[in-house]
Amino acid sequence: MTTSSIRNKRKKIIVRTLVALFWIAAWQVLCLFLDNDLLIASPFSVIRRIFELLFVGEFWVSVLNSLLRILEGYLLGAVLGILCAALGALFPFFSALLSPVITITKTAPVTSFVILALVWIKSYNLAVFISFLMVFPMIYSGVREGIESADPKLLEVAKVYHFPVRKTLRLIYYPAIKPFLLTGLSTAIGFGWKAGITGEIFALPKHAIGTRLYESKIYLETLDVFAWTAVIILLSLLIEKLIRLMLKRMG
């Protein structure tokens, strides 16, 4: 790493820390101004509450259950997204058939699906389904775009030299799809996570972050609402970071 890049990185960290401190200070000022625990919790009490939660077994059970459910939906969405994109590229009829589904899932609000899905799906599986619903169209569209970006000149090379399908996939389609797929996978996790938690808030499965958040709201435990929200944000950042790191290593 060069001296200038180290300097740049350090500068970036300082700026980020200052920005964070500014907003925490603004939050604290607002707390002091409102002076009402039911309306807003102070940043320090939220941090203290998160540390308390870390020593409660139910916290970890809820976190792990939510993570598992949402990752299940994420993986399902990713795998089916890739498969359907491949099928869509091969069979235009399949692509046309799927087109309205993709448009609807991309444009309709998450809550509409959650409310509808509540009628059909068990509370445990709802977050899986909602997370899947967010991830699937993103991966599908990304992979389709990647397939379409495959170099037609190299495809002609593959054709005239009679490359087997596997070789064409490995040498032409995979490199074309890879950047779209990696971007899709790293972006989709954040969306899947948020949508999955929303699903839990409606479905209220026994052990879930969404359920804990909902209960905190019902019992007017504003501090817990803030603490669970902070946990959701921190976990979202952590998962996104981990997925990006994993994808970077794979790429």
Partner 1 sequence: MITLNQISKSYDGKKVLHRFSCTFAEGKITAVMGPSGIGKTTLFSLLLGLIQPDEGTISGLEGKKISVLFQEDRLFPFLTAKENALVAGEGPKDYLALLGLKDEENALPSALSGGMQRRVAMARALHYDGEIFLLDEPFKGLDPKTKEQAMALFRSLTPEKTVIFITHDKEEAKLLADDIVYLNEAVVLKDALPFDHTP
* Contact footprint for partner 1 (CB under 8 A): 153-154, 156-157, 159-161, 163, 171, 175
Please state the separation of Cα 123 from the chain's center in Å: 20
Our CB check for partner 1 shows the closer of 149 and 187 to be: 149
Reading phi first (left if > 0) and then psi (alpha if -120 to 50, else beta), residue 41 is in: beta
Q: What angle do CA 212, 215, 199 make, to 5 degrees?
A: 60
Q: Cβ 151 to partner 1, closest distance in Å? A: 8
Distance in angstroms (rounded) separating the CA atoms of residues 94 and 83: 12
Our CB check for partner 1 shows the closer of 50 and 157 to be: 157
Our CB check for partner 1 shows the closer of 136 and 173 to be: 173
Q: Cβ 162 to partner 1, closest distance in Å? A: 8
Q: Which sign, positive or negative, has the C-alpha torsion 211, 212, 213, 215?
A: positive
- Beta carbons within 10 angstroms of residue 63's beta carbon: 19
Our CB check for partner 1 shows the closer of 46 and 177 to be: 177
Our CB check for partner 1 shows the closer of 10 and 167 to be: 167
Q: Cβ 244 to partner 1, closest distance in Å? A: 22
Q: Cβ 153 to partner 1, closest distance in Å? A: 5
Q: Which sign, positive or negative, has the C-alpha torsion 154, 155, 156, 161?
A: positive
Q: Cβ 179 to partner 1, closest distance in Å? A: 13
